[in-house]
C-alpha cells in the first residue's frame, strides 16, 4: 500500500543492534497525529536532497552524526552536471514552434579517448522559435493585425533557429555538501537542508578547455547547416542533482554499496539519485531506475 502525503521525519534504531526498526512521521493532513512504520527492511528513496536530510535528522546517541554516516560522507559529494549552451541560426527550414520540446541527442562524446584530455558530454539540439513567434507589434512598435501580422511572421520564419546544449561531466569535491541549517526550520521544527555545490580541483582546471571544445563543436554543427552561432551561455548551477549518499566498496569512502545497502545498517538501503558518486554527462533517471530495480532484487533475496 502506498501512503501519500506522508512525511517521514526520523528513522529509529533498535536499542542494541545497529538496525533500523521504525520510521516516524506525519500525514500532512493530520500533523497532530504522529505515524510510525515498523518493518524488517527500510529503503530511503527520498531524492538527492531529502535522503541525506532524513539520515542526518535521524542522529541519535549512538550515531550522533546521523545514520549511515560513520564515514562522515552523508550529505557530501553533492553532484550534478554543468552545462554549456548556444543558439544558432541555420539555413534549413524547421517550421519554428512545431516541435520545440523534442531534442535530438548524440552520444558521440559520452566516452573520452584515454590519450586525450578528459572531456565528456552529451550533445543536444532543439528547434527553437526564439525571435520567430508571431507578434502583435513590429520592431518599431507599430500594431500589426491581419495580413500585416502574417507577412511579418512569414518573413521571420524563413530559415530557423536552433538551441544547442551539452551536459558536461564535472566531479564534486568532498565538501560539496548538504548541511542542516538551524536558521531555517519546517513546521515540525526540523532544520531544513542547505546545499552548496563545489567542484573538485581537476574539474575546475578543465573548465576553460571543456568550454572551448564544446563551443568548437557547436560551431561545426551550425556550419554544417550553413548557419552561425548567435549567442552562447553556461549554467550557474548543476542540473540533475545527485549525491549525498554515494555508493562504493570501501565503507570509509562511501555510504552504501552498489545495491544501496548502507555500510552501517544492514537493513537500511538508499536508492536513486543520492547514491551516484558523480552525475555523469546526461539525464540520469533511467540509470536510477535500472539501479533501483537491481537493488529491489537484492532486497527481495534478503
Ligand atoms: C524540472 C525537472 C525536470 C527534470 N527533467 C528530467 C529529464 O528530462 N530527464 C531525467 O532523466 N531527469 C530529469 N529530472 C531529474 C529527475 O526528476 C530526478 O533525477 C529523479 O526524479 C530522481 O529520482 P529519485 O527517485 O532519486 O528521487 P525523486 O524522484 O525526487 O523522488 C523522491 C520522492 O521522495 C519523497 N520524499 C522526500 N522526502 C520525503 C520524506 N521525508 N518522507 C516521505 N517522502 C519523502 C518526495 O516527495 C519524492 O516523491 C528533472 C528534474 C526536475 C526537477
Main-chain dihedrals φ then ψ at residue 235, nearest 5 degrees: -75, 145
pLDDT for residue 61 is more than 90: yes
Binding site membership of 288 for ligand 1 (Cβ less than 6 Å): yes
Ligand 1 within 6 A of CB of 50: yes
Grid coordinates given for 182: 538551524
| C-beta 56 within 6 A of ligand 1 | no
Q: For a pLDDT cut of 70, what percent of the chain falls above it?
A: 100
| Rounded to 5°, angle at Cα 180 from 178 and 182 | 150
Tell me the pLDDT tens digit for each residue of 215-225: 999 999 999 99
8 A C-beta contact, residue 255 and residue 69:
yes
Asked if 181 and 193 touch (Cβ cutoff 8 Å), the reply is yes
CA torsion through residues 276, 282, 285, 287, sign: negative
The Cα–Cα gap between 34 and 21 comes to 16
Query: Is 229 in contact with 88 (CB distance < 8 Å)?
Result: yes
> Looking at the predicted structure, is the pLDDT value of residue 98 above 90?
no
Burial zone of 279 (CB within 10 Å; 0-12 exposed, 13-18 middle, 19+ buried): buried
C-alpha pair distances (Å), 197 with each of 10, 13, 127, 174: 25, 31, 31, 10
User: Which pLDDT tens digit goes with each residue over 185-207?
Assistant: 998 899 999 999 999 999 999 99
Query: How confident is the model over 98-127, as a mean pLDDT?
Result: 91
Read off the C-alpha cell for 168.
Answer: 558536461
* 130 pLDDT tier (thresholds 50, 70, 90): confident
| Cβ of 45 less than 6 Å from ligand 1 | yes
8 lines ligand 1 (CB under 6 A): yes
Integer Cα distance of 294 and 284 in angstroms? 15
Name the pairing type of β-strands 239-242 and 79-90: antiparallel
Say how many Å lie between the CA of residue 217 and the centre of ligand 1.
31
Is 7 touching ligand 1 by the criterion CB < 6 Å?
A: yes
Q: In percent, how much of the chain has pLDDT > 90?
A: 86
C-alpha 163/C-alpha 210 separation (Å) is 19
Q: What is the mean pLDDT of residues 69-80?
A: 98
Å from CA of 48 to ligand 1 middle: 8
Atom of ligand 1 nearest to the CA of 271: 26
Residue ranges and CATH numbers for the domains of the chain are 6-77+243-301 (3.50.50.60), 79-171+200-234 (no CATH)
> In which band, very low, low, confident or very high, does the pLDDT at 302 lie, cut at 50, 70 and 90?
confident
Does position 133 have pLDDT exceeding 90, yes or no?
Answer: no
Residue 225: what pLDDT? 92
Q: Which of 165, 246, 273 to mutate to test the pocket of ligand 1 (most atoms within 8 A of CB)?
A: 273
Provide mean pLDDT across the span 48-54.
Answer: 98
Pocket test of ligand 1: the residue of 50, 58, 193, 287 to mutate, having most ligand atoms within 8 Å of its CB, is 50
In 79-210, where do the E strands start and end? 79-90, 104-106, 123-128, 160-168, 177-185, 191-196
Phi, psi of 11 (to 5 degrees): -105, 140
State which ligand 1 atom lies nearest to the alpha carbon of 292.
25
Torsion region of 101: left, alpha or beta (phi above 0 gives left; psi -120 to 50 gives alpha): alpha
The residue ranking higher by pLDDT, 33 or 232, is 232
Ligand 1 pocket member 26 (CB < 6 A): no
Decide: helix, strand or coil at residue 233. strand
Q: Are 249 and 3 a contacting pair, CB within 8 Å?
A: no
Amino acid at each position: 500500500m502506498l501512503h501519500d502525503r506522508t512525511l517521514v521525519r526520523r528513522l529509529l534504531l533498535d536499542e542494541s543492534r545497529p538496525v533500523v526498526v521504525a520510521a516516524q512521521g506525519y500525514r500532512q493532513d493530520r500533523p497532530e497525529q504522529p505515524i510510525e512504520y515498523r518493518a524488517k527492511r527500510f529503503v530511503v528513496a527520498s531524492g538527492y536532497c531529502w535522503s541525506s536530510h532524513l539520515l542526518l535528522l535521524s542522529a541519535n546517541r549512538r550515531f550522533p552524526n546521523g545514520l549511515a554516516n560513520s564515514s562522515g560522507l552523508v550529505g557530501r559529494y553533492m553532484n550534478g552536471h554543468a552545462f554549456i549552451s548556444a543558439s544558432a541560426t541555420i539555413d534549413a527550414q524547421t517550421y519554428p514552434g512545431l516541435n520545440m520540446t523534442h531534442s535530438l541527442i548524440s552520444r558521440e562524446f559520452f566516452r573520452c579517448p584515454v590519450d586525450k584530455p578528459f572531456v565528456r558530454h552529451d550533445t543536444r539540439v532543439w528547434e527553437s522559435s526564439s525571435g520567430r513567434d508571431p507578434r502583435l507589434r513590429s520592431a518599431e512598435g507599430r500594431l500589426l493585425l491581419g495580413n500585416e501580422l502574417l507577412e511579418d511572421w512569414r518573413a521571420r520564419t524563413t530559415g530557423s533557429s536552433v538551441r544547442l546544449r551539452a551536459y558536461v561531466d564535472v566531479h564534486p569535491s568532498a565538501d560539496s555538501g548538504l548541511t542542516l541549517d538551524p536558521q531555517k526550520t519546517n513546521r515540525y521544527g526540523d532544520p531544513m537542508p542547505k546545499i552548496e555545490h563545489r567542484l573538485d580541483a581537476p574539474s575546475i582546471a578543465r573548465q576553460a578547455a571543456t568550454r572551448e571544445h564544446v563551443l568548437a563543436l557547436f560551431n561545426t554543427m551550425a556550419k554544417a547547416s550553413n548557419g552561425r552561432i548567435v549567442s552562447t551561455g553556461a549554467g550557474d548551477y548543476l542540473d540533475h542533482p545527485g549525491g549525498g549518499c554515494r555508493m562504493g566498496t570501501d565503507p570509509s569512502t562511501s555510504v552504501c554499496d552498489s545495491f544501496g545497502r548502507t555500510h552501517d545498517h544492514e537493513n537500511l538501503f538508499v536508492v536513486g539519485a543520492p547514491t551516484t558518486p558523480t552525475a555523469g554527462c546526461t539525464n540520469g533517471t533511467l540509470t536510477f531506475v535500472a539501479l533501483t530495480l537491481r537493488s529491489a532484487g537484492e532486497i527481495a533475496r534478503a
